[in-house]
Amino acid sequence: MNPDVARKTWRTTEAYHAMVYFAPEAKEQYLALGLDASANAAVGYFPARAAAMGAVTWQTVQATFFNFSALACQFGIAGVWDITTPEAVLAARLKGADVALQRMCGDLLADTKEAADIAREAASACTPYGRPLYAAHAGLEWPEPDHLVLWHAITLLREYRGDGHIAALVGAGLTGLEAAVLHVAMNDTWGRKALQATRAYSDEEWEAAAVSLAERGWLDAEGQFTAEGRERREAIELQTDELALAPWERIGEEAAARLRELVRPLSAAITESGAFGRGPRL
């Protein structure tokens, strides 16, 4: 199977999961627990994504989320488990996802069983070895109804891919900050200002990472890829696709294409609702 199947399917399905980090419905659920995600967006992201691992420390969050600074992780997770519990946060996130999906997708959710069945079967091929975020979420009970089964399956698949991506970055000798700098050099959906701000790195830290990458021959003086750097970054992306391929090998290319066909209108509706400033590519 062409590894590109993994990347195409991730891009098409990502919005269906990721909307929960931006949806006001989720923020309302967190606020009821004492976490004001409107005042501090970090407490609407770090605890919700980490809660499946239990009441973990900010250090564990930084290790598994990878490209966030220590400051960002402390700001998002420190003290949270004194206010609420992982179980309560998980329930709030699922409720927020449910209500948000109903608002954004409306009648499109009426027939999600086929997509949910395909995605769940794909996720059954994922293994926990070296995949901490995937493994933690795989330990949760499957929700109901079908549109939440689909949401949970896509969550498992994207965390499985993300864990593999971190392994590829670490294997290439990159730090989380260097990975963020390279992501900006890709001229993808993130610019430096937004990525640096959300990851909470200072200008000095960012520039030092860019200099380090230039010294290694990955970037030029303007922070753009050299030929060597682009080749190395593409090798990381290819390895990420290869490490994420097991679910799609389980169901086959035809079923993967069918899943993309079924989820594409849902992802489009979410993106068009304004859930993301610049949404993931479909």
Per-residue pLDDT of 153-170, as tens digits, reads 999 999 999 999 999 999
Distance, CA of 52 to chain centre? 14
Contact 133, 162 (CB under 8 A): yes
Burial, 64: exposed, middle or buried (Cβ in 10 Å; 0-12, 13-18, 19+)?
A: buried
Q: Which tokens sit at 213?
A: 């990458």
253-267 pLDDT per residue, tens = 999 999 999 999 999
In the predicted structure, residue 282 carries a pLDDT above the cut 60: no
* Residues 118-145 pLDDT 10s: 999 999 999 999 999 999 999 999 999 9
**Is-cis flag, bond preceding 24, omega within 30?**
no
Bridge partners, 274 (sequence order):
none
Q: Looking at residue 65, what is its pLDDT? A: 96
pTM of the model: 0.94
Q: Are 167 and 138 in contact (CB under 8 A)?
A: no
Question: Which pLDDT value is given to residue 280?
Answer: 36
179: Cβ contacts below 8 Å, ≥ 6 apart:
66, 67, 169
CB 54 within 8 A of CB 60: no
Q: What is the pLDDT of residue 277?
A: 63
Measured CA to CA, the distance from residue 221 to residue 218 in angstroms comes to 10
Residues 6+ apart with CB under 8 A from 73: 46, 58, 59, 61, 62, 65
What torsion, rounded to 10 degrees, do the Cα atoms 274, 148, 2, 224 define?
30
